[in-house]
Structure 1
């Protein structure tokens, strides 16, 4: 066999060995990447399971003592060790709902202005200014709400609301009572300001995903700007808008310090949104360091478990709603 043939065969063997080594390294890299990502996913599930187990274990004494009555009782007396979660649940849901009613339309309006109406040179500065609201610590919102917003509402807004709705069925109870300044309405306004950047930022981002050709075609056939937003942009971005609202709702449900400053921290259910109340997170923040009995501590942990369950159901409902919207779009 000639030397040329032997040299060619040697090169082929060497090339084959090198290629096998490279493929082996690629396989090792893929395997390591798969193990790493799978470990991260499993770690999240383990942490979540650990939180659930800890909450259930810590709240077990209170749940055994009070049963389902813990959900409906308005009593919260550490002296007699009688605890109920109804006022905290009511305050959490009402403040979050009112905050969403305020923040969602404002956030959508800001997003429409930034994407459709605002001069191009001002879009970035205005957008940054709105997003800066999200960087303010919650305790700063609480201090501002206590010393600025609450006195303003007490002197200039709440007396007018009480007088305006006096004698109006149902609304008279919603806007009744002395003008405390602090209360559920004040806490809802603070929450609305806190979640406003989240709603507006997500809405602006999803509005910008609409293909310009769709809007230009609508304008070309004579649609007004309102008709374009209603019939083109809103249907195209419906999933993203709902997702942003649910994220904002999740933030509102769990907010603690800002609400603690301005809600009044009263363990009672009042039909008036001007009256003081409490939330689950505010109750835990106020009283956990003072809980000196096993049943007292367990009741506070049970409140944390309830907040976890409420948040879980809100997120589950949002996923179902998003899935339904996607199915309708597919049709």
Structure 2
């Protein structure tokens, strides 16, 4: 091949790679612009009140109505924001201790013959489709909660008014939180292992040389140095929990209401879109659902960006894992 042809091929390859890279930004901008365009009707009708709007009074009785009433054209995203935050943060309370404990075991304590299979099974959980998690939750988790767990929560924690026996089905925020915890556990655990592995072995040796026990070495020499990355891993898991759709839709109960009890039915931002978009008949109804999608899209991007920055702050320049 002549020198001129080689230079042309190099230039064409460079242009092609630049186009591939810029296409990612183009896709994101197209999604964002389409969501903004399709949600303009709801934005002009409600403005920022859409996210904080209390239930409008019923036109016939004058009493407080529903947050989400497509028949009368009353739309407020507040119950779905509440349901998303409650289910997501409950899932973090369950998943974070388990994920960090698993990461510590795999990184610092696990025998070599067990490390590979256990890490593989953990990562396999992240590859299971969410609909499979939803089916498992419906047939296994929800009956388990209904028959055994929820009665115990009501008996011993009912005095807090957070666990009131007003929903005998087993569906609700707790069911959604448990299935979300199972889904985000491998994400948090894998990233936590990555940032813990990035901590130099000299830190471990220095702490042990001062007479520390293994637990003190892990706590002071590893976790303290990896804490920023662990926070990033938790936030990344939160981003997954915020946007999860099918599994949550199948177990949260899909009721547009705000209740104090965590055993009550609720709804999330993703689940209401999945449930109602195909059945929306009015332009305002569809526009309101798309505006919820726009808010979820923006929040997910911000949460994931913050998480990636925190993880990168710990793992940058770290050698590849040898575990």
Could you say which residue in structure 1 is the equivalent of 2:96? 104
For residues 159 and 281 of structure 1, the distance between their equivalents in structure 2, rounded to whole angstroms, comes to 29
Greater percentage in helix = 1
Tell whether 2:215 aligns with 1:226.
Answer: yes
Once the two structures are TM-superposed, the CA of residue 185 in structure 1 deviates from its matched residue by: 1.0
CA shift in 2, pair 1:231/1:192, >3 Å: same
Measured in 2, the distance between the counterparts of 1:32 and 1:227 equals 56
Question: Is 1:40–2:20 an aligned residue pair?
Answer: yes
Contact 2:195–2:311 (CA under 8 A) maintained in structure 1: no
Deviation at 1:271, TM superposition (A): 1.3
Greater C-alpha Rg: 1
SS of 1:128 mapped into structure 2: helix
Match of 2:71 in 1: 79
Structure 1 residues 294 and 179: CA distance shift in structure 2, 3 A:
closer
Mapped pair 1:188 → 2:177: yes
Superposed CA RMSD: 2.3
Cα drift, residue 288 of structure 1: 1.0
In terms of mean alpha carbon deviation, does 214-223 or 151-160 score higher? 214-223
Pair 227,183 (structure 1): closer, same or farther in 2 beyond 3 Å:
same
Gap runs ≥5 in structure 2: 56-66, 316-323
Q: Is the 8 A contact 1:265 1:282 kept in 2?
A: yes
State the secondary structure of the residue aligned to 2:158: coil
How many aligned positions are there? Answer: 302
Aligned to 2:42: 62
Compute the displacement of 1:130 (Å): 1.6
Residue 319 of structure 1 deviates from its aligned partner by: 6.3
Deviation at 1:25, TM superposition (A): 6.1
Deviations 1:202-256 (A, max 9, x none): 2122222333333233223211122111211123323432332222111111100
Q: TM-score, normalised by structure 2?
A: 0.86
Q: Shift in Å at residue 300 of structure 1?
A: 0.9
Deviation of the 1:121 alpha carbon: 0.8
Q: Distance in 2 between matches of 1:70 and 1:86?
A: 8
Gaps of 5+ in 1: 1-17, 327-331
The Cα of 1:309 is off from its aligned counterpart by 2.3
Q: Write the mapping of 1:116-265 to structure 2, written as runs, cut at 5 A.
A: 116-167=108-159, 172-180=160-168, 181-265=170-254
Deviation by residue 1:44-87 (Cα, 9 ceiling, x = unmatched): 12211111111011011112122222112352112112111101
- SS of residue paired to 1:277: coil
CA-to-aligned-CA distance 1:266-294 (integer Å, 9 cap, x gap): 00011111111000110010111111221
Distance 1:317 1:200, change over 3 A: closer
